Amino acid sequence: MGLLKGLLFLPLAPVQGVGWISKVLLDAAEAEMYDPTVLRARLAALHRAYDEGEIDIEYFDAEEERLLDLLEQPATGRPTAGHPRGAR
């Protein structure tokens, strides 16, 4: 039965491969996005840009809040449904 199923679904192999690659890339991007070390570096760069006058206070406040919210996420690093930023 496995051989027959494999032959029937052979034309879908490229689609399944693209789906697998997409999932791997998404997982890698999320791991980097929610990595506390990366978030702290982005926060430091944000403070440096504000101190040097490259960005205004409104952008600074909004981005700082977003980065701090990401740092406060649970250990999984992914937004939770109950979290106000979970829809992002």
Kindly report, residue by residue over 60-69, the tens digit of the pLDDT.
999 999 999 9
pLDDT at 42 over 90: yes
* Separation CA 23–CA 6 (nearest Å): 22
* Mean pLDDT, rounded, for 61-79: 81
Task: Name the residue ranges covered by the structural domains of the chain.
Answer: 17-71
DSSP conformation letters of 57-83: HHHHHHHHHHHHHHHTS-TT-SPPTTS
In angstroms, the CA 20 to CA 12 distance is 12
Would you say residue 77 has pLDDT above 80?
Answer: no
pTM over 0.85: no
